[in-house]
């Protein structure tokens, strides 16, 4: 008895940690562009001079204005990222005189191109009358790279935040697609039985016999690479699990008294299936949905690692591992380890929650 209490307490703690991690990741995903140091679209500000910088590195930049009109508002920036009307030039140093501003561009630690790196800007070219009108806030900015930079000099922390959005959205939409298709197919197979059940079961068994990853690869090749194509492909491979569970539940419930009574009152089959029987299997659907959510995240990561998932420059945790797995034996191993750990913890968190829900359902059923 004491051991059972300890086990249940441990499972509750794991479930709490799972919920906590998923909530944190969800908040980061929703507000990714608002909290990212690099809030450009896809956090794709490439600075080759800053490649492979260590975590917590801070760099200064000169904002070189470009002739570009920006029409996006707050909500567009929060969803798609903020378009900039300037280029960022990494700085080694800068100075100003009465006539001009001089900037010394940074090319890397081991590169010395002092004369070639110094560029002068006359005050009138910057829209200023003299040096007294110069303000650092308008022309000089700094950025801290909390997780360092990747091989293209992009901010790893910002790309991790936006990659969380990709993983969560693909998991959610894939589960929705699998639930919709699986629920309808399983409900019709279990409720009507007979030839309808045999045909639908044959289709389910054929798809069930195919490896999930190979099926997703085949579908992604057929419908193309991209964000929407990936969650459609993953959703079309996971509906069989849902359909089999729904079918089994409908087979056991279709002869219950309340179902027979509904038929006697002339209620339509569709209403009986989805109004009277379906509410009794919601708990089972929740459990299979959590399992499919974790599976979808792993499938997306696997596809992106193979180069068949989300296309660059959109960041996903899977393609971030693909871009940097060859550096795992060097001192920049964290570029592949960090997204790998993020995927692992997310899948573990979903599984912890799924196990806790399963225990609750088992207690209620017993």
pLDDT in tens, 316-342: 888 899 888 888 888 888 999 999 999
Q: What is the mean pLDDT of the chain?
A: 84
What ranges in 272-333 are assigned the alpha helix state H?
Answer: 282-305, 317-324
Q: Which residue's structure tokens are 């992106």?
A: 304
| Alpha-carbon dihedral sign for residues 349, 145, 40, 48 | negative
- CA–CA dist 30, 132 (Å, integer): 41
**In which residue ranges of the chain is CATH 1.10.3720.10 found?**
156-365
What integer pLDDT is reported at residue 210 of this predicted model? 79
| Residue 145 scores a pLDDT above 60 | yes
Please state, in angstroms and rounded to a whole number, the distance separating the CA atoms of residues 201 and 214: 21
User: What span, in angstroms and rounded, lies between the C-alpha atoms of 345 and 343?
Assistant: 6
Question: DSSP string spanning 191-204?
Answer: HH-HHHHHHHHHHH
Contacts of 263 (CB under 8 A, 6+ apart): 272
Higher pLDDT, 115 or 332: 332
CB neighbour class for 365 (10 Å; exposed up to 12, middle 13-18, buried from 19) = exposed
Q: CATH second-level architecture of 156-365?
A: Orthogonal Bundle (1.10)
Q: What is the token pair recorded at 361?
A: 């359902």
Which pLDDT score, from 0 to 100, does residue 106 have?
85
To 5 degrees, how large is the angle CA 163–CA 39–CA 327?
Answer: 45
Q: How many CB atoms lie within 10 A of CB 308?
A: 18
Tell me the three state secondary structure of residue 101: strand
* 1: pLDDT strictly greater than 70: no
Cβ proximity of 105 and 119 under 8 Å: yes
Distance of CA 80 to the CA centre of its chain: 14
CB 212 within 8 A of CB 291: no
Q: Whole-model pTM?
A: 0.85
Q: Give the SS3 label for residue 226.
A: coil
Quick check: 160 pLDDT over 90? yes
**The predicted structure's pLDDT at residue 27:** 92
């Amino acid at each position: 008895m004491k051991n059972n209490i300890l086990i249940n307490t441990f499972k509750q703690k794991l479930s709490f940690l799972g919920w906590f991690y998923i909530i944190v990741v969800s908040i980061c995903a929703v507000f990714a562009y608002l909290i990212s140091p690099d809030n450009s679209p896809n956090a794709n500000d490439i600075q080759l001079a800053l490649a492979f910088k260590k975590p917590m590195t801070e760099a200064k930049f000169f904002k070189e204005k470009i002739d570009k009109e920006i029409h996006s508002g707050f909500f567009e920036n929060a969803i798609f990222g903020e378009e900039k009307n300037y280029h960022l030039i990494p700085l080694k140093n800068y100075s100003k005189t009465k006539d001009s501003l001089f900037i010394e561009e940074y090319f890397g630690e081991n590169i010395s191109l002092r004369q070639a790196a110094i560029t002068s800007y006359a005050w009138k070219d910057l829209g200023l009358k003299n040096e007294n009108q110069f303000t650092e806030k308008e022309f000089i900015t700094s950025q801290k790279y909390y997780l360092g930079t990747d091989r293209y000099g992009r901010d790893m922390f910002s790309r991790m935040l936006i990659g969380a959005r990709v993983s969560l959205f693909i998991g959610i939409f894939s589960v929705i697609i699998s639930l919709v298709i699986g629920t309808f197919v399983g409900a019709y197979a279990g409720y009507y039985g007979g030839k309808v059940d045999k045909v639908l079961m044959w289709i389910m068994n054929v798809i069930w016999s195919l490896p999930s990853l190979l099926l997703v690869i085949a579908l992604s090749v057929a419908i193309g690479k991209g964000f929407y194509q990936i969650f459609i492909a993953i959703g079309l491979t996971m509906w069989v699990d849902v359909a089999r569970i729904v079918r089994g539940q409908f087979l056991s419930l279709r002869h219950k008294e309340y179902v027979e009574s509904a038929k006697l009152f002339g209620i339509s089959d569709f209403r009986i299936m989805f109004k009277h029987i379906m509410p009794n299997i919601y708990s089972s659907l929740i459990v299979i949905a959590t399992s499919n959510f974790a599976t979808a995240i792993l499938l997306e990561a696997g596809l992106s690692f193979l180069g068949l998932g989300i296309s660059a420059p959109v960041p996903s945790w899977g393609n971030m591992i693909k871009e940097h797995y060859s550096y795992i034996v060097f001192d920049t191993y964290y570029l592949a380890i960090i997204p790998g750990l993020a995927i692992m913890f997310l899948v573990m968190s979903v599984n912890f929650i799924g196990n806790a829900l399963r225990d609750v359902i088992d207690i209620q059923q017993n």
